């Protein structure tokens, strides 16, 4: 059942709604990960990692200082090259960031990138296991990735003094009463790499596309970047960048990186006048809510003012692109930091060189804007 009434969003918080359907839909990709678990098993895995992703954990670990030079270097390379295919570039950048966050040496990044692309084929692979078909290729990619991750886990145990999220996760999991098997640990590390990679890379690419489409937006961002003068590195500094924050929120509202969430009703549920029988498969359509006229005025228009002029605090429905309830995205504060850092670095670097983003190859006219976006000084 797909329900387009925004009230259905609250089902994500309902105790009789289960995430186990996710494992049935994508057993090869998400089996054994916390996103597909309910109750105690889910809490145990989430508790082991959540503190590292809160503002305090990110600041204590110096994540902003770690990311700023990587982002600046990449944006400077774009300025020097002129034309870039933006989604490929943001994908590479995000892989580098997520690896540095996890404390994984950034060797053979193009190899990892290729494997990730093949891994994602498991979502849509028909159940035919033959050489060259997506299922076979996706499984081989997953085995390659898991072999590397298993080695990182072994290294983390051998060098407990090292820093990095993998080390923290391994010790937190090992310390917990009901320690996760290595398979569970590896599956959850793979989930973090996946969750933190494609989603943020596509949002970043959409931000550049929107900046290229709307010169006024670019000018506002440049003005803010010049006022703050440097890429922020601490969570507390993000408040000085309202335009960059509004850019991130409005881009994600119009182009949500996760478009729907699957769930199953464990008991009979009531939604308005509708009775939902136990066992029903539910589709919570985030893309639909995010652009619904019931929640937003002129929902199809890109308006920074929605965020800049608001008086009330951000509510969970304003961040619905990250879900809600027990499974709400663990990476929300990290994404906020990364995307503000990225926007400010882009504006400072390009403006100093007297250039601005622009779409090439008629990309602004239609499908090309999605599949082949470029920027050019
Ligand atoms: C624009 C970027 C992102 C978006 C739009 C996004 C969106 C989401 C959504 C909608 C969920 C809820 C899934 C559900 O309820 O079934 C989720 C969960 C999750 N996200 Fe994100 N995400 C983003 C970035 C990240 C990052 C950077 C990380 C970590 C590095 C991350 C890690 C996770 C994890 C581990 C979960 C599962 C949490 C749980 O099941 O308890 N995400 N994300």
Residue by residue, DSSP assigns 248-297 as HHHHHHHS-SS--EEEEESS-EEETTEEE-TT-EEEE-HHHHHT-TTTSS
Higher pLDDT, 245 or 360: 245
Q: Phi first, then psi: give them for residue 198, nearest 5 degrees.
A: -60, -45
Cα of 249 from ligand 1 centre, angstroms: 15
CA nearest ligand 1 atom 18, residue: 329
Question: Kind of pairing, strands 17-18 and 261-265?
Answer: antiparallel
Please check whether residue 313 lies inside any domain of the structure: yes
Q: Which DSSP letter does residue 313 get?
A: P
Residue 49 confidence class, pLDDT cut points 50, 70, 90: confident
Q: Which atom of ligand 1 is nearest to the CA of 286?
A: 10
Please check whether residue 129 lies inside any domain of the structure: no
User: Which residue has 């931000």 as its token pair?
Assistant: 207
Please check whether residue 57 lies inside any domain of the structure: no
Residue 367 confidence class, pLDDT cut points 50, 70, 90: very low
* pLDDT score, position 376: 47
Q: What average pLDDT does the segment 31-41 reach?
A: 94
Residue 362 confidence class, pLDDT cut points 50, 70, 90: low
Owning domain of residue 342: 6-48+68-107+197-371
* pLDDT score, position 178: 67
Please check whether residue 257 lies inside any domain of the structure: yes
Per the DSSP assignment, residues forming a β-bridge with 281 are 264
Gyration radius (Cα) of the chain, Å: 21
Number of domains in the chain: 1
CA nearest ligand 1 atom 15, residue: 327
24-38, 148-162, 277-291: which range is least confident on average? 148-162
Please check whether residue 307 lies inside any domain of the structure: yes
pTM of the predicted model as reported, rounded to 2 decimal places? 0.92
Ligand 1 pocket check for 334: Cβ under 6 Å: yes
User: Is the Cα dihedral 39, 43, 46, 50 positive or negative?
Assistant: positive
Q: Which atom of ligand 1 is nearest to the CA of 22?
A: 16
Most confident of 158-167, 195-204, 219-228, 365-374: 219-228
34-43, 99-108, 346-355: which range is least confident on average? 99-108
pLDDT at 176 over 80: no
Cα of 23 from ligand 1 centre, angstroms: 16
Question: Cα torsion for 350, 351, 352, 358, to the nearest 10°?
Answer: 40
Please check whether residue 179 lies inside any domain of the structure: no
* pLDDT score, position 184: 86
Pick the closest to residue 34 from 25, 26, 44 (CA basis).
Answer: 44
Please check whether residue 346 lies inside any domain of the structure: yes
* pLDDT score, position 113: 83
Please check whether residue 246 lies inside any domain of the structure: yes
- Here the tokens at position 139 are 């499984």
pLDDT at 213 over 80: yes
CATH number where 245 lies: 1.10.630.10
* pLDDT score, position 16: 97
Three-state DSSP at 90 gives helix
Query: What CA–CA distance (Å, rounded) separates 99 from 116?
Result: 13
- Here the tokens at position 177 are 């009463």
Site to substitute for ligand 1 among 25, 67, 330, 336, most atoms within 8 A of C-beta: 330
């Amino acid at each position: 059942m797909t329900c387009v009434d925004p009230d259905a969003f609250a089902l994500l918080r309902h105790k009789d709604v289960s995430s186990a359907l996710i494992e049935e839909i994508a057993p090869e990709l998400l089996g054994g990960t916390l996103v597909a678990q309910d109750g105690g098993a889910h809490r145990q895995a989430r508790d082991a990692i959540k503190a590292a992703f809160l503002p305090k954990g990110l600041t204590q670990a110096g994540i902003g200082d770690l990311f700023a030079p990587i982002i600046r270097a990449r944006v400077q390379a774009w300025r020097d090259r002129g034309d870039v295919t933006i989604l490929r570039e943001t994908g590479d950048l995000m892989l580098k960031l997520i690896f540095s966050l996890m404390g994984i040496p950034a060797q053979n990044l193009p190899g990892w990138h290729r494997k990730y692309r093949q891994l994602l084929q498991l979502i849509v692979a028909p159940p035919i296991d033959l050489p060259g078909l997506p299922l076979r290729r996706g499984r081989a990619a997953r085995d390659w990735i898991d072999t590397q991750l298993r080695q990182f886990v072994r290294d983390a145990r051998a060098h407990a003094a090292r820093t990095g999220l993998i080390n923290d996760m391994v010790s937190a999991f090992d310390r917990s009463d009901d320690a996760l098997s290595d398979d569970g640990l590896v599956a959850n590390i793979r989930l973090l790499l996946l969750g933190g990679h494609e989603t943020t890379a596509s949002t970043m690419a959409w931000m550049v596309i929107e900046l290229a489409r709307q010169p006024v937006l670019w000018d506002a961002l440049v003005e803010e970047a010049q006022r703050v003068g440097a890429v922020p590195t601490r969570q507390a500094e993000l408040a000085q960048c309202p335009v960059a924050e509004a850019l991130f929120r409005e881009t994600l509202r119009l182009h949500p990186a996760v478009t729907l969430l699957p769930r199953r009703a464990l008991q009979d549920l009531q939604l308005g006048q509708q009775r939902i029988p136990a066992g029903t498969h539910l589709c919570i359509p985030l893309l639909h809510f995010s652009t619904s006229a019931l929640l937003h005025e002129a929902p199809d228009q890109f308006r920074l003012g929605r965020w800049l002029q608001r008086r009330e605090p951000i509510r969970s429905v304003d961040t619905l692109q990250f879900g809600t309830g027990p499974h709400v995205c663990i990476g929300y504060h990290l994404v906020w930091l990364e995307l503000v850092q990225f926007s400010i670095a882009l504006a400072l670097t390009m403006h100093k060189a007297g250039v601005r983003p622009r779409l090439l190859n008629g990309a602004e006219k239609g499908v090309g804007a999605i599949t082949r976006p470029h920027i050019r000084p």
